[in-house]
Structure 1
């Protein structure tokens, strides 16, 4: 406590100058000490405020350059806000600054998620619309091809039309896989079919069908509801095996009975898979991860994704490995549980699978036909193995082609003349001219060396 000025004057007057000077010195030092303490406290507060401002500036930079880009990357690769790191300065987490930064991240997360979902729905709607319209056109194309092949039996015409029909079948398969990825139904409902015919149906829908070797027989049958999904899955795995192996090597199919089902194994002689590619294939074939069209890489690949979607939807399993490939390439396996199988029919054999627009063959006439060769271990022709379905066949340019016969129908009028009507005088001339022209057109080809 400071003394009253009057008391201080009295002390100085009564005790002399020396004592007064000492008292003043003590009082001055105390005052200076107090001032210095106050100044030190103010300096500490200023340093703390400067450190707080610097931490807030660093946290803002960390938000802009670190946390926001990490959030965008996580959203693009299936992550979420929880996978993003926290603030750099933990002491700011509960401050207004930290709470504001968390609010910014949450708003960006919600906005990006909403935009991604809208983009995905738009992409799926577009794929559904395009797939449906293209499937209708492909169906018309296949129907026109089938109509032409049913009405005509000329070998040259058949040889020209069959590749077109085969290409249309492959296009239809690709459209089916796209449709499966966006939740569409894979195709028509079939009757129960043998596992061998199911695999042959898949072979008939790939480009390199002639390289595929299938077993001669199989005692297993597939329930009708699962036939088309398995045909599609087998076709995609066969196509993948053929495209990733040399064109001179075979693609072999084998069946293996398991305790609670049967496995379809597909062996290729390709170079195998890198570890990261094998992991990605396993992830896609599992069917456990949702397919997002907007997150597919460029160029996109749909085969394994489609097989995984079919496996998840219908209850079979798909996998790949390299340890058990008989040719050192990749072995793709489809495991079909017993619940998807059916009992063999009472008859000795069941009608084979046919393509979406290929009608079942009509009974052949009693006249002798060209003998049908024994069923080889590979697909003789993509049109659902016509040579194995008792069609008369012939070999042309190295291919075994079926000879389509014109089938009479009760609904088609027969343009025959009544018995009482006399033929026109020139009818024989016209027929003779037609035969002569046909022979003249074929003569150069018959004379050319084979």
Structure 2
């Protein structure tokens, strides 16, 4: 028979072992339950994360990418590009990956545009060079034919009309080559502001509607030859715009200010609203070449032409003012450093000797409207492109005019008569060297 103490000890030990086992089993079950709970929570978190990733991928494909294409490829201003739809993904790998895709898309569009634009501009310049050369030769033939027939005849008038159409076509080619990154394609000697105004006036369709208030104090100021053609082209664009959006007279006046001169163009047409002024200011401030991939309206490139020339040659233009006649006041500001001094005595004497050596031909007298042709003369030599080489000749004295008297060319009959002289001499003002011949 067992000792009761031994039995008690055995039973106590067994109970202790059983208790320890039960305790260990309970702890194991609790740990397993906690682990299951963690796994369930992690599964739920993973499911939520996967759902957020799926939602973000769909948002990037359905919303972000179309907006980027609209802004970068199609050039739509004001299209908002949305960010992350799931804020908890900010700063994660997904966020960084989307930003990388956006940068690559922007770079791809930019590179493609540059390549397309470069190829297109090069092709356009090649075509323009050939067309411009042909039109210059055509003008020279017309002028030669005009000199063979007396003024006032029907044939002479038809030649003048044809010459005016060719001049307008040349201006159109100049606009395009300027926007494609080239120069105007014409190099002229120093000219007076009066000659610049008359030259620009003769390049638009409704030239009889342009009234230039001539003042010797400002009109006989010499402009540096390097900027004569750019300023003429810019003023032509302003005059063309003024006559296109108004029915009555367009008034031109040259005003001196402390640091240069202003050519003011006032029309009585419809004024521009706030949005049109902003768009015009944006184009006038555009200094880059034409992006052929985003051109929408080729009929509204005049301000872009002016902006390109202004940035290249150092003058400026503004159309934010209202004219006294209710329309738009356009101001072309030319700083003092762009003005020259005209031909020197040595150049005048050299031209006289050259004229004498060519047979003693004396240039025909010019009227006030033909003064735009008084800066250069033909030397009889040809450039490498087959065009006549121009040389400077002495300026022609202007017709006397009172400060308050409008230009005589405001009279249609007087302007028509003087335009006959302009046809003979306006083409002698320009050194028709092609752009690549000088820049290359």
TM-score, length-scaled by structure 1: 0.70
Task: Give runs of aligned pairs for residues 45-124 of structure 1, distance below 5 A.
Answer: 45-76=42-73, 86-124=83-121
Whether contact under 8 Å (1:87, 1:93) holds in the other structure is: yes
Change in Cα spacing, 1:12 to 1:201, as seen in structure 2 (3 Å) is farther
**Per-residue Cα deviation, 1:180-215 (whole angstroms, up to 9, x for no partner):** 111222133222221112101000000000000001
Alignment match, 2:148: 151
Query: Is residue 376 of structure 1 aligned with residue 408 of structure 2?
Result: yes
Moved more, 66-75 or 91-100: 91-100
The answer for unaligned runs of 5 or more in structure 1 is 1-9, 361-373, 392-400, 405-450
Quote the offset at 1:333 in angstroms. Answer: 0.6
Alignment match, 1:164: 162
Alignment match, 2:312: 313
Equivalent of residue 183 in structure 2, options 182, 185, 198: 185
The DSSP-based 3-state class of the residue aligned with 1:206 is: coil
Alignment match, 2:235: 234
Structure of higher CA gyration radius: 1
d(CA) in 2 for partners of 1:143 and 1:358? 13
The answer for unaligned runs of 5 or more in structure 2 is 1-6, 346-365, 379-389, 391-405, 426-440
d(CA) in 2 for partners of 1:381 and 1:229? 30
Change in Cα spacing, 1:402 to 1:308, as seen in structure 2 (3 Å) is closer
d(CA) in 2 for partners of 1:317 and 1:302? 16
Count of aligned pairs: 365
The DSSP-based 3-state class of the residue aligned with 1:255 is: strand
The higher relative CO (CA closer than 8 Å, separation ≥ 6) is in 2
Alignment match, 1:279: 278
Change in Cα spacing, 1:100 to 1:192, as seen in structure 2 (3 Å) is closer
CA RMSD, aligned part only?
3.9
Quote the offset at 1:29 in angstroms. Answer: 5.5
Q: Which has the higher helix share?
A: 2
d(CA) in 2 for partners of 1:108 and 1:390? 58
Alignment match, 2:224: 223
Quote the offset at 1:218 in angstroms. Answer: 3.3
**Per-residue Cα deviation, 1:81-129 (whole angstroms, up to 9, x for no partner):** xx95543335435544334333333332232222111111122112112
d(CA) in 2 for partners of 1:12 and 1:267? 122
Quote the offset at 1:377 in angstroms. Answer: 5.0
Change in Cα spacing, 1:261 to 1:31, as seen in structure 2 (3 Å) is same
Equivalent of residue 36 in structure 1, options 33, 36, 41: 33
The DSSP-based 3-state class of the residue aligned with 2:408 is: coil
Change in Cα spacing, 1:345 to 1:97, as seen in structure 2 (3 Å) is closer
d(CA) in 1 for partners of 2:255 and 2:81? 47
Whether contact under 8 Å (1:262, 1:338) holds in the other structure is: yes
TM-score, length-scaled by structure 2: 0.72
